[in-house]
Amino acid sequence: SDLQKQEERGELLQPLIFILLVLCSVLLYFTVSLMDPGFVKSEEEADKSEEQSMVTPQVPSNIKMRRCGYCMVKQPMRAKHCQLCQHCVRRYDHHCPWIENCVGEKNHPLFIVYLTVQLVVLLWGCHVAWSGLYFEQSWDWLQHNIFLLTSFLLIVIFTIVVLLLLISHLYLISCNTTTWEFMSHHRISYLRHSELENPFDQGVILNLWRFFC
């Protein structure tokens, strides 16, 4: 049959890989959306305080953990209260409206994996949509291809957004800083009173290693 011939020629492999990538993207989306991003719990305060003091010796010793005015837990360094989630989040990066969850210490690496897979799917979708377009300067052509053309333009827009988001996150990770710290550097006590511009930066390779591994 035609299906067997296509399988023998390897023509079914690409659609199968594409479908698997889409399923992987959906699975990653729900995983990142539903998992704990690193909510601060009261029983973890003492342990986390000791860990932070060991990992970040460059931070001035006079900067102490403060108690959150919303949930009344002691915030470890680099934590921030998210009013949408109603929790303090360790190594808070930002609250992402796409996933309706915070991006923090626990789900940030998986969030980067999700963006990477999503970018591959979108680029592949761009290629598929572009290959189906045969441009002609006629009204009939536009009527018959308006849906495909609109889909292609939307995919291009989403691709650009995801690409810029992924690049910006990888840059911040390579500097060992977060979106919140980057945007609010002048308002954060442990950064404002530090002698170094970024006391957490340990070099690109070590920053990436600590983040992903």
Tokens 């108690």 locate to 67
Annotated catalytic residue, options 68, 96, 126, 175: 96
Which residue carries 């591994």 as its tokens?
A: 213
CA distance linking residue 119 with residue 124, whole number of Å: 8
Cα separation, 48 vs 43, in Å, equals: 10
- 72 secondary structure, DSSP code: -
DSSP state of 78: T
Rounded Cα distance between 110 and 59, Å, is 28
At 74 the three-state DSSP class reads strand
Q: Is 96 a catalytic residue?
A: yes
**Cα four-point dihedral sign 204, 208, 211, 213:** negative
Geometric angle at alpha carbon 210, from 54 and 90, rounded to 5° = 65
Euclidean distance between CA atoms 94 and 112, whole angstroms: 13
- Residues that are catalytic: 96
